Every structure is written in C-alpha cells, then in structure tokens.
Chains A and B, each alone.
Chain A
Amino acid sequence: MTLELKNVTKRVGVEMHIHETSLALSPTGFNILLGATNAGKTTLIKMMAGLERPTSGEIWFKGQNVTGVSPQKRNISLVHQFFVNYPSMTVYDNIASPLKVAKIERAEIERRVGEAVELLRLTPYLKRRPSELSGGQQQRTALARAIVKDSGLVLLDEPLANLDYKLREELRDQLPGLFAGRGAIVVYATSEPSEALMLGGHTATVMAGRVTGFGETGTLYRQPRDVATAQVFSDPPINMARVLKSGNEVSIGETRFAARGAILNRPDGAYTLGIRPHFVTSAPRSPDAASISGIVQITELSGSESIAHFEMGGDVWVAQSPGVHAYDVGERHDFFVDTSGCLYFDSDGKLVL
C-alpha cells in the first residue's frame, strides 16, 4: 500500500516546476515534504491529488496507475494552507459534505461526523458557518472534513502555516493522533525544519523543484545526503565554509582542528564544511571545541537562546548559543565549534559518509 511517483516532472510553459522526481510513500508515520516557499511542495501535492497532471512520469497508488485519474475518483483528502471551507454551509454540512457526495447512509454520516467533531472539539460550533469561526476552528473544520472520509491518501499542504503560534503548537501535537491507525498515507508539507522533526516519520527535502533527499526524518537530519538537503533541513541556515583537510587535521583559514569520523578515510584536499548553528556557540560545548572568531553583524534574542550572525573569512556564520549573551555589533567575538557536529561534503556536494 504505497503512493509512488515514478520519474514525475511538471513543466508550465518553459518553466520546470518539478524536475524528474521519484518517491515512494508509505502509510507508516507522516511523509513530510520540507522546503521553502515556491520549492514545489504544493505542485507535488496537487499532482498526488490529481488536480494537476504531471508533464511526464506516472503516479501509482496501491499498485494502480492513477496518472490522469480525476481527483473525484481517487478517494483522497486535502487540507490547504488557507482555511478553505464551504462558506454557505454550516460546520456540520461542511464536514458531512464528502460523505453526502459519496451517498453514504444518513446514520453512518452522523456517526462519523460526530466522531470527527469530538476529536477536533468542534461540537459546540456545528450550527455555525465557517465565517463565524476563529482561524483555528476553521482549520479544524477542514481537518475534520479530511478525516471523516477515511481516505487512503491525506494531503496536508502547510495546514498550520496561517495559524498563530499557540494554536499551531496545539494542533501540531494533535495531528499524528488524528491519523494514527487509519492506514492512510499522510503527506504533510511544511517550510519549517523543526516541524518536520517534531512530526517524525519520513521527510523529503524539496529545493527548487527537486527532491534532494528522502529518508527517515531523524536520519535525514543527522546525515543530509548533500549540501542542498542540509540547507533545506536547517533553521537557522546551516553554516557552510570551504575547508582543507590534511592528515588528521582540518583547517578553515587560520583555524585548525582535529578531523573526526568518515572524513579521516578520505584523501586530503578541499571539502565543504557544514555545521548547524547550534554547534557554534559563544562558550565551548566540549573540551576539544575549535575556537574561531568573527565580526558580529546582527544579533537576535529568542528567549532562551542568543543568535549572532558574524563574518569570518568572507562567509557569514550563524552562532546559536544557549542562554542570554550580549554581543557588541561590529566587534570581534570568539566562538567555539563543536567538531562532533561537523558535516563534510565532497566536491560534488555529496555527504562524506
């Protein structure tokens, strides 16, 4: 029971929206499409839904070729980023709508809607119209409509992006539970790496119309296949620098530190170092941390963390340190790199494993 994209492409006019992509999605856990705005997540979802036809390639669902099959005949559910409900219908009718179209018995409709409404805590609002609900309630109505259908494929296109912080957290905690045990393939598009990590499952990183990596979310985060995957899967953006490996040492400009892991088995030469901002701190995280320094350009404070953007050797680095630190903008500061977090990419941009 899988959803497979086989060498799918999408071209609109002369623009390639999706370059040749193959993916196999399973019903175990969420399948997350992670990528920036305009990366092609929505196009992928629309092709999975049958709302857009791939320019080439095939889409297989449960062992059947469904390329070109209309969305009506596919038994899928879709939740958009914007709160889309039927404005002229009450909340109850909104949620019951897919079941009514499918000509399901009245009693059964009432039972299923009741269940969904209970799960999403919409019971007091059944008689209202969507315009009389808050944003969170509107999106919960859309989610309820997606789950009553018991479809084999649930597509969630950034469903939490337009909600405020508190509601987003609440609904995100609830999401996995809503779809657990239904045997549906759940596809969840998001632009936030942290959201992907919290939801777990499998993640596909999307950048400029290409799926750069696909795998178990935690594994993909720790071992991003290539530079693009590492860039997509890091927030704040991952620090990148040209480094030189010679013997057991790696050097960034003047700074030298001990090489660790798979890079030791590779020939000497130039590599790209990728290091996530939380491994670059203003106090050393480990005794063997490498010391670097740079001119601080911008500082941000996010409650429990201090973020500093600093310039070093022509690159802008981001350091994310726990606790509150005062940096003087324009001044040179020392930072420490926890070398256990170093990822090395070879000249083709592939991760050194």
Chain B
Amino acid sequence: MKRWLVPTLYIIFLMLPIYWLLAMSFKTTNEILGGFTLWPQQFTLENYKVIFNDPTWYWGYFNSMIYVTINTIISLAVALPAAYAFSRFRFTGDKHLFFWLLTNRMAPPAVFALPFLQLYSSVGLFDTHIAVALAHCLFNIPLAVWILEGFMSGVPKELDETAYVDGHSFGSFFFRIFVPTITSGIGVAAFFCFMFSWVELLLAKTLTAVDAKPIAAIMTKTASSSGYELGLLAAAGCLTIIPGAFVIYFVRNYIAKGFALGRV
C-alpha cells in the first residue's frame, strides 16, 4: 500500500464533479449530449463569450453580489451590538431571547416566501436588491449574533474595564479595541452570511423579476428556453463557484478558530 494512494483517491473523488463541470463548460452542447468524453474534443470558449457579452447573464452576477454584500453589511452591523449585549449584560429574558433568535433559522425559507412577497410588493420593494438583502437578514442576523457572541464571550470583561479606566469612551473602546480583538469572529460571521445569501435561491427568486434577479435564478430560466444549453449552464456554474472559493480562501484560518471555539 503506497502512502499517496488514499489521499489521491480522495482528491479524485472530491474533484470529479468540479472537473466534470469545468470540462462541460468548454464543450459544445452537442458534444455533451453526444456521448461520453473525458475531456473536450472540440474545445470552445463560446459558452463564456455568451455570458460575458449578454447583460442578462452578467448582471445576474452583479445582482447576486450586490444583495449579498448589502446583506452581509446589514447583518454584521446589527449583530455586533446585539452580540455584545448578550455577551456582556444579564437582562430579563436574555437566554430566552438568545434561543428565540436561533429558532428563526429552524423554519425553511419557503415559509417566509409568500409573506415577504406580499409585504414587499405592497411597500414597493419588490425586485430590488435591498428586498432580497433584508429577507436574508432574517436568517443571517441570528446566525451572526450566535457566532459573534461566542467570540465576544471569549474576550475577558477585564478588557472592557481596563479600557474604561484608561479613559476610553464606550465608542472608542468598541471600535478601536474590541472590534479589532474579534476580527476573526467577524470574519467567520461574514463568511457564513455571505455563504447563505450566495446560495439561497428560493427567496431571491421569489422576490425578484428582472432588475435584481440573481445568477442562480437566471440559470434555471436558461434551462427552459430552446432546449437545454448545457455548455452554457456549466460555464455559468463555474463562474458561480469562483466568488465562494475566493471568500473561503481568505477566511480559512478564521474558520478554524471558529470551530475551535465551538460556535460554528
């Protein structure tokens, strides 16, 4: 038994679907449907050209990124003070409230699709980026509070006291000392907000029509037009993986810390 055999098999199994997606994206639809080929026989960049030249395609990416970014910013901005309160103060019902926040994540997004659609239509938010961002907050804020509270509780209260004694006001302490101390927690929370919002399809699709339509929704639309454009879909899929891969690369060390703290 060679030592490299098991890891190699593991990586092959792991990479196979991604390789297949990548290979398909460089094939023509005819070749994909024609039979089994391990690598593109007629290598083509046509699929990518379509995506980069058609605004309905590339705006799908922009739309997704816009509402994901808005969502992550709102979630963190709201979760930071909330998590601080939960980690530092004892108040009536704090534990119940903390648990209740989590229960928001127990309901499937589909439950909220209809009320959100009706609500946003009636206040004129339908088909806007902010609508999707706000809808995702329902799931991401509790998660961010939960993660950040874990990191904040790991910082001793003596740090706060030392800062006050040194003359820092609450604001100065919070932004200049406390936030930099828990950057890894913020990184982990941001990552999970990004991931949920990036892959969530149902709410994003329900709450948008044209102007804020996410890439995943555009991919489902293509499937129903003139037959299946499998090559095009594969190319779009490859491009969808890239942002997630980037984010994971940047926060990989923080996530290890988060796991060590038991909150992820």
Contacts and interface: CB of A to CB of B under 8 A. Distances in A.
B243 interface: no
A70 B167 CA distance: 9
Interface stretch (B11-19, B20-28, B95-103, B153-161): B153-161
Contacts of A145: 166
Contacts of B161: 46, 49, 51, 71, 78, 80
B35 to A, nearest CB: 59
B169 interface: yes
Interface stretch (A94-102, A159-167, A251-259, A301-309): A94-102
A82 interface: yes
Interface stretch (B104-112, B127-135, B177-185): B177-185
Interface residues of A, number: 25
Interface residues of B, number: 17
B39 interface: no
Contact of B177 (A72, A82, A86): A86
B162 A70 contact: no
B201 to A, nearest CB: 38
Contacts of B183: 88
Interface in B161-176: 161-169, 172
B158 to A, nearest CB: 5
A77 B167 CA distance: 9
A74 B156 CA distance: 23
B165 A78 contact: yes
A88 B169 contact: no
A87 B163 CA distance: 12
Contact of A88 (B162, B164, B167, B181): B181
Interface of A: 46, 49, 51, 70-72, 74, 76-78, 80, 82, 84, 86-89, 97-98, 101-102, 142, 145, 149, 155
24 contacts: A49-B161, A49-B165, A51-B165, A71-B165, A72-B167, A72-B168, A72-B169, A77-B165, A78-B162, A80-B161, A84-B156, A84-B162, A86-B163, A87-B180, A88-B177, A88-B183, A89-B180, A97-B166, A97-B168, A98-B167, A101-B166, A101-B167, A102-B167, A149-B166
